[in-house]
Amino acid sequence: MTRSKSRKVPDITSPWEPFEDRRRARDIKREAVLRVAVHLFLEQGYDRTSLNEVAERLNITKPALYNYFANKEEILVECYSLGQELSEGALTRMREQDGDGLFRLRGLIRGHALTMAQDFGQCLVRIDDRVLSPEARREVRAGKRLIDAGFRAFISEGIADGSIRPCDVKLTAFAIAGALNWIGHWIQPDGDRSPEQIADEMALRLTEGIANTA
Amino acid sequence: MTRSKSRKVPDITSPWEPFEDRRRARDIKREAVLRVAVHLFLEQGYDRTSLNEVAERLNITKPALYNYFANKEEILVECYSLGQELSEGALTRMREQDGDGLFRLRGLIRGHALTMAQDFGQCLVRIDDRVLSPEARREVRAGKRLIDAGFRAFISEGIADGSIRPCDVKLTAFAIAGALNWIGHWIQPDGDRSPEQIADEMALRLTEGIANTA
Amino acid sequence: MTRSKSRKVPDITSPWEPFEDRRRARDIKREAVLRVAVHLFLEQGYDRTSLNEVAERLNITKPALYNYFANKEEILVECYSLGQELSEGALTRMREQDGDGLFRLRGLIRGHALTMAQDFGQCLVRIDDRVLSPEARREVRAGKRLIDAGFRAFISEGIADGSIRPCDVKLTAFAIAGALNWIGHWIQPDGDRSPEQIADEMALRLTEGIANTA
Amino acid sequence: MTRSKSRKVPDITSPWEPFEDRRRARDIKREAVLRVAVHLFLEQGYDRTSLNEVAERLNITKPALYNYFANKEEILVECYSLGQELSEGALTRMREQDGDGLFRLRGLIRGHALTMAQDFGQCLVRIDDRVLSPEARREVRAGKRLIDAGFRAFISEGIADGSIRPCDVKLTAFAIAGALNWIGHWIQPDGDRSPEQIADEMALRLTEGIANTA
DNA sequence: CATGAATGAGCGTTCATTCAT
DNA sequence: CATGAATGAACGCTCATTCAT
């Protein structure tokens, strides 16, 4: 192969590159596992997806998975984490941006809607976290509450700054979150609306009733 | 043993009653199974609930369940059915009632919200129907589509009769259904809002943006 | 079949006999499992004996074992228990019998030696209790300490009543127990000494040094 | 490959030392493995000790162990060997020393008792050799028989020279060996008796009954 | 109608061992 | 000489389902 050649060069310039390479290869493989796993979890449910199936799709054997994850639960937890990051990213971004409450709320709606268009995002609302151990569940739920708190905060903010009409904050937040989470259940990769279109429309539709346009 | 004796007396006065009684007793037991099952399904998930647990809570043994249901799947299907009936009831009622589209939509929202406050209703949105066999799933999904179609019909009707502002019917229906289905995930039996309060508020809140109040 | 006939008779004389029969059948099967299990445990070690092997020798399948025992550990614990009973039986018998310390000690030695000639007795000293969960191990060890305490008590008693010469009680008890437990390692079912002969000789030999024959 | 080159320099000044050094380093590491291994084997049992655990305690990785040992069994066999050497050493020493049978028996008892105070010695009696392959087991058992033969030889010798009273040689040897082997099960590193005290007491106690002191 | 017993299929996990690097 | 990765084999255990009683 070309291996003997390609090895010599990095050896001189950076003796650690092989390690880097390995680390990177490892991360790539971990990600591959997660992508396959979340896909199957969404397709068949967590309990009905055996590690054998996950491994088979990766052309490895079941025990090989244990090189990357301690157990099946850890795989799910990391899937949740990746989904959570998507939504939290939008929350953080909007928090750091200038604009009134309504503007920020709409941004968060868009971000959360886009999250629901991706596998890792969908797993947040479609894989029941009751399969997790108490500790893991607690962590996952903490993440979910964070997003919920974001919705409420922006709504309250909007009411305070006048961009949003007074309303029941908690219920409104639930209504919005519910409509968005539901996207994860009906959206189709090849549907006639793109995720961005859905996100934009939701941002408007879900704030129509509370936006102060006077 | 002594049963044949104790049966003979009623046999004379009314030969049909015992059958009736039996049927009734059987139905009562079936219902009891379903109530326990749906409760456990919601608590632990379908896959993680063994028939043994269901049987134990009923103080019977596992195989006894097979006298009332062909298999585990049938139990779940019937739970879905009962939930479905709740929502479909509201749909039928509103269909038969006079009123414009907005009025009917609000009625359906209330009905569906109340459905989400009950175990059988919650199982519609919290138990993943991917655990079902293809045939059973098809049936269940047909039921769900029925409700969805109801939402869309009332919205279209409202747009036609002017009670609802023109909007993207499909997306609006999804948003409303999502907000309502989500209730099943956050509602608590001893929360500070009664199901009726939630239903009423949702009926208003979810139509605020589209109601034509001019 | 002959069922309807054969059932009627016991129904009259004793309506509970079928249950009794079942209970008895169950106990017989449990015992059979234990006998096979302890045999294999002694032959190959606990960890290297799979439940499959146990089941196969009983002409049943592995999960059938779970009708009688909660898990593999429980099987071992019950084997220990049966062995423990053998030795404790001798202890209790000697405690209740008249005689000086030396007499009782010799009786206990004989009893313990005979215990070591049986599978359940051997498992006490040949199956490492470190495979048990902490709780189970504690219980098992408590049992073992009981026997040890018995040896010490009889020795002390003998010293007090003059039948045994003053000696280091603890060490002497250990030496005797060790010599006896070792029997479980070298005895052979078809050896040239019968268990009784071994027991008798041990009773003498192990007390030669401390018996007060003056 | 590059080894032949790097070896050339030391080859001039002292061609043997590098080998010696290497061998020594290798042996040191082998010993370290054995010490850790026997410790864990005694603590958790052979089957329940994974090579990973052994490697971890040595701050190396599991496959590295295979540079020093062909497989897990070989590790255990060598542990046995080291234990065996301890006891055989005492046997040889006493064989070469002047003195009657009783004297030599007592020396062997002391030596064997001291063996039981060490990890490698304990593994002789606490790790079941049934985990070994037939060939390895045969070898190990041959070693054990050697010790047993030593006990019998000294007893017979003592009977012949009058230092020991006539007795059943085989049974007496078993009783003594059993009492000594048992030490491995109850001795504690920080107990109130030192190994030497135990050894001395045992040498007396176990020969009290058969010593000819007339 | 209900039960105890049994089964077959399957799952998550562990581990000694091998191998390319 | 050491490592990370991978594998094959096995194991304990669970569970829906069946069946004789």
Q: Is any atom of nucleic acid chain F found less than 7 Å from the CB of residue C51? A: yes
Give the distance, in angstroms, between residue A84 CA and nucleotide F4 C1': 30
Statement: residue C45 has pLDDT above 50: yes
* b/e map C26-61, b = 16+ CB within 10 Å: eeebbeebbbbbbbbbbeebbbebebebbbeebebe
pLDDT of A5 higher than 80? no
Task: Write down the pLDDT at residue B1.
Answer: 39
Closest-approach residue (CA) in chain D for C41: D130
Whole-angstrom distance, CA of residue A31 vs CA of residue A78 = 10
Neighbours of D166 (CB within 10 A): 11
Q: Which nucleotide is nearest to C64 (CA to C1')?
A: E6
C67 touches strand E (CB under 7 A): yes
For residue B212, CA distances in Å to A175, A204, A209, C200 come to 20, 17, 11, 105
Q: Give the pLDDT confidence of D52-69 residue by residue, as tens digits.
A: 999 999 999 999 999 999
State how far the Cα of C33 lies from the Cα of C36, in Å rounded to an integer.
5
Q: Residue B8: what pLDDT?
A: 43
Q: Specify which residue's alpha carbon is closest to the C1' of nucleotide F20.
A: C3
| pLDDT value at residue C1 | 37
Instruction: Write the burial class of residue B49 (CB in 10 Å: 0-12 exposed, 13-18 middle, 19+ buried).
Output: buried
Q: What's B15-69's CATH class? A: mainly alpha
- Statement: residue A172 has pLDDT above 50: yes
Q: Identify residue A37 by its one-letter amino acid code.
A: A
Contacts 24+ apart (CB under 8 A), C173-177: C173/C148, C174/D179, C174/D182, C174/D183, C174/D186, C175/C206, C175/D179, C175/D182, C175/D202, C175/D205, C175/D206, C176/C105, C176/C109, C176/C151, C176/C206, C176/D179, C177/C112, C177/C147, C177/C148, C177/C151, C177/D182
Distance in angstroms (rounded) separating the CA atoms of residues D140 and D80: 7
CB A92 within 8 A of CB A154: no
Q: How many CB pairs under 8 A join A and B?
A: 95
pLDDT interval class at A15 (50, 70, 90) = very low
Domain boundaries, chain D: 15-69, 73-214
> Looking at residue A25, what is its pLDDT?
84
* Run of H or E residues at B40: helix B17-44
Question: Across the interface, do A182 and B172 touch by the CB < 8 Å criterion?
Answer: no
Which nucleotides in chain F lie less than 7 Å from some protein C-beta?
A: 1-21
Q: How confident is the model at residue C4 (pLDDT cuts 50, 70, 90)?
A: very low
Instruction: Provide the CA C191 to C1' E12 distance, Å, integer.
Output: 46
Encoded amino acid at B123, one letter: C
- Our measurement of CA C166 to C1' F15, in angstroms, reads 63
pLDDT-derived band of residue D124, with 50, 70 and 90 as boundaries? very high
Provide the token pair at B8: 């003979």
Name which of A2-11, A13-22, D94-103, D125-134 the model is least confident about: A2-11
Interchain contact, C182 vs D183, CB within 8 Å: no
CB-count burial class (<10 Å; 0-12, 13-18, 19+) for A37? buried
Which residues of chain C are within 8 Å of residue D179 when distances are taken between CB atoms?
174-176, 178-179, 182
| Percent of chain B topping pLDDT 90 | 82
> Which partners does chain C have (≥3 C-beta pairs < 8 Å)?
D
State which H helix or E strand residue C50 sits in.
none
Contact C117, C187 (CB under 8 A): yes
Residues 11-70/B with CB < 7 A to strand E: 22, 26, 29, 60-64, 67
Distance CA B129, CA C79 (A): 47
What topology does CATH give the domain C17-69? Answer: Arc Repressor Mutant, subunit A (1.10.10)
Taking the C-alpha atoms of residue B205 and residue B195, their distance in angstroms, rounded to an integer, is 15
- 3-state DSSP percent of chain C in helix, strand and coil, to 5: 75, 0, 25
Q: From the list D43, D131, D176, which residue is nearest C48 (CB)?
A: D131
Q: Which CATH number fits domain A10-69: 1.10.760.10, 3.40.50.410, 1.10.10.60, 3.40.50.970?
A: 1.10.10.60
**Nearest C-alpha in C relative to D175:** C179
Proximity of residue A25 CB to strand F below 7 A: yes
Q: Which residue has the higher pLDDT, B121 or D135?
A: B121
| pLDDT tops 90 at residue C171 | yes
User: Is D171 within 8 Å of C131 when comparing Cβ atoms?
Assistant: no
Range among A4-8, B62-66, C25-29, D9-13 with highest mean pLDDT value? B62-66
> Quick one: average pLDDT of B138-147?
94
Of the pLDDT bands very low, low, confident and very high (cuts 50, 70, 90), residue C7 is very low
D23 touches strand F (CB under 7 A): no
Q: Which residue is nearest to the C1' sugar atom of F3, using CA?
A: D61
Beta strands in D94-160 (DSSP E): none
Q: What is the mean pLDDT of residues A12-31?
A: 70
What would the mean pLDDT of D172-193 be, rounded to a whole number?
95
Mean of pLDDT values over A125-153: 94
How many other CB atoms are there within 10 angstroms of residue A140's CB atom? 20
Arithmetic mean of pLDDT, D26-39: 93
Distance, in Å, from the CA atom of A102 to the CA atom of A163, rounded to the nearest integer, reads 6
Q: Give the nearest nucleotide to A62, CA to C1'.
A: F7
Burial of residue B99 (CB within 10 Å: 0-12, 13-18, 19+) is middle
Residue C103 has which token pair? 């007499």
Task: Find chain B residues with C-beta within 8 A of A185's C-beta.
Answer: 178
**Which pLDDT value is given to residue D22?**
67
Distance B131 CA to F10 C1' (A): 30
Specify the pLDDT at position A213. 75
Inter-residue contact B33 to B65 (CB < 8 Å): yes
**pLDDT score for B16:** 54
The reply to whether domains C17-69 and C76-214 share a CATH topology is no
- CATH, domain range B77-214: 1.10.357.10
Lowest-confidence range among A25-39, A200-214, B92-106?
A200-214
Q: Take residue A20 and report the two structure tokens written for it.
A: 């880097």
Structure tokens at B171: 């997306």
Strand E lies under 7 A from the Cβ of residue A61? no
User: For residue C97, what pLDDT band results from cuts at 50, 70 and 90?
Assistant: very high
In this complex, the nucleotide whose C1' atom is nearest to the CA atom of residue C65 is E6
The distance (Å) linking the CA of A7 with the C1' of F4 is 18
The fold of A79-214 is Tetracycline Repressor; domain 2 (1.10.357)
Best residue in D73, D130, D196, D200 for a mutation probing chain C (most C CBs within 10 Å): D130
Q: Is B176 on the interface with A (CB under 8 A)?
A: yes
Which of A47, A174, A182 has its CB closest to that of B174? A182
Any B CB within 8 A of A182 CB? yes
Q: Could you tell me the pLDDT band of residue D212, with boundaries at 50, 70 and 90?
A: confident
The string of pLDDT tens digits covering residues A76-110 is: 999 999 999 999 999 999 999 999 999 999 999 99
On whether any CB of chain B is under 8 Å from the CB of A104, the answer is no
CATH class, domain C76-214, is: mainly alpha
Dist CA D73 CA D136 (whole Å): 8
Minimum distance, in Å, between the CA of residue B39 and any CA atom of chain A: 14
| Domain D73-214, CATH homologous superfamily name and number | Tetracycline Repressor, domain 2 (1.10.357.10)
